[in-house]
Structure 1
């Protein structure tokens, strides 16, 4: 299989919905990364969903930079300040094979969107050298459908966040006012490609869609709208992780309305709503 992206893909970058159209061979766009792979860390991760970590861990590769501007980002040093080391595709192949050799159940690319042409090349070459574990695309949900279509067949497990359907929230806290419309179409495309989550006899994910939603303080109705949309558009077998670990990281304390943790009552209100909808929740048996 050949790399589905043209060689000049970075000359006028339109990989994500921002359509910066900058020449990333010479400068950076919103994502703060040029035309080289930039990796912050790579290791067997045991803090992901149990269907990913199992006993061997998820082979997680944190990419530097991001196409979102979340003011509450917990990984702001990597995402906003793009800390990390530039590597070439050969290095990435070696990292993937090393993580597989360590017993990791998958290769988990975190915020891959803006580096996906080089990642795709690495996946293809790693498979030629014996990579067999599933590939996870772990993203913020701000994806261009045209880009996702190019990587169909390379990605086994899509794991997007659905952060909000509230345009004011998206504009103020994500710096992406079109996020609600974009994420809906992106998630539907991911679902078309891989379907509902499938697991093996060890209850380890092999293929499918995992949706994450972080409950935000004061935005329980937004959360309910998201969960209802999932049930109506993807079905009640959609695998959803409703998360409560929000804390006011990075610049969140500049915004009093989100400068606190989610209360137990807020989280339970959202979680019970998800249960009532009959969604397949991440804490349940798979």
Structure 2
């Protein structure tokens, strides 16, 4: 019951959830990551932990290998706690937990244990935005900052691409709780970094998808009106067609550069002054690391 699917799987007794996860905590990679927003990665990197399996299972997933559970190693919650400390020892600006909701009890334990053993960097919770209010609320005092997606405004794409009817309402309720917990973004000075690093707050990512410019505009307008400076937006143009998506030929195309520029212009027209955007040919870059068990 950890995610909005509420599938009721008894994982402790061998069942698997809609996410594909069983009782074992599975991690595909734990390493410094340099492709997050600048105040998260900085120059030293973000200590990113990629968890295997995912409740959302988007048809175009950029991390399909781990979302489908095709990569990952079973570890204990105590080992996960040690991983956090090892990432800090490597110079990570934070510990960045990617898609970990289905392992939330183990994550809570691991963070608390690591802090008891001296972990001092912020905890960033990196999520699809498809969260229950209860799950987010249970992270109060555990998570310092949220790096959350807001994928869709319209019901059609949410159903077609992520099999997630009602995604918008779920994401809004979860985001309300995130913002209530963290308040606006606060930054901290870190030795060796040219700019301050994120210490607390909520960054909302929206990755444009082909043919959904109007959907993106409606979403950005809503976020600006509802949250204002309580969040920081990250408007992304890195969607990459990694494979043929059966039944969705539109997803086999890139987002036109002019559509992305139109969204940035729209954000400017709304008076949003502080947001992240991607320069150059983001599609030509690889933001997907090797899920080879590094650091696990």
Instruction: Name which of structure 1's ranges 76-85 and 182-191 shifts more when overlaid on structure 2.
Output: 76-85
Q: How is 1:97-112 mapped onto 2 (pairs within 5 angstroms)? A: 97-112=85-100
**Contact 2:244-2:252 within 8 A present in 1 as well:** no
Aligned to 2:113: 125
Q: In structure 1, what is the Cα distance between the partners aligned to 2:128 and 2:134?
A: 17
Greater RCO, CA 8 A, separation 6+: 2
Aligned with 2:64 (options 76, 83, 86) = 76
Instruction: Name which of structure 1's ranges 162-171 and 247-256 shifts more when overlaid on structure 2.
Output: 247-256
Q: 1:90, CA displacement in angstroms?
A: 1.3
Q: 1:271, CA displacement in angstroms?
A: 1.1
Q: 1:69, CA displacement in angstroms?
A: 1.7
Aligned to 1:167: 155
TM-score under structure 2 length normalisation: 0.89
Q: In structure 2, what is the Cα distance between the partners aligned to 1:260 and 1:283?
A: 20
**Contact 1:239-1:281 within 8 A present in 2 as well:** yes
Aligned to 1:20: 7
Quick check: 1:232 aligned with 2:219? no
Task: Give the 4+ runs in structure 1 shifted more than 2 A.
Answer: 249-254
Q: 1:81, CA displacement in angstroms?
A: 3.0
TM-score under structure 1 length normalisation: 0.92
SS at match of 1:34: coil
**Contact 2:243-2:252 within 8 A present in 1 as well:** no
- Give the number of aligned pairs: 271
Q: 1:232, CA displacement in angstroms?
A: 1.0
Q: In structure 1, what is the Cα distance between the partners aligned to 2:196 and 2:271?
A: 20
Quick check: 1:190 aligned with 2:184? no
**Contact 2:183-2:230 within 8 A present in 1 as well:** no
Aligned with 1:52 (options 40, 53, 61) = 40
**Contact 2:131-2:171 within 8 A present in 1 as well:** yes
Aligned to 1:263: 256
SS at match of 1:252: coil
* Pairwise CA RMSD: 1.4
**Contact 1:38-1:87 within 8 A present in 2 as well:** yes
Runs (5+) with no aligned partner, structure 2: 190-194, 279-296
Q: In structure 2, what is the Cα distance between the partners aligned to 1:28 and 1:165?
A: 30
Q: In structure 2, what is the Cα distance between the partners aligned to 1:153 and 1:259?
A: 41
Quick check: 1:276 aligned with 2:269? yes
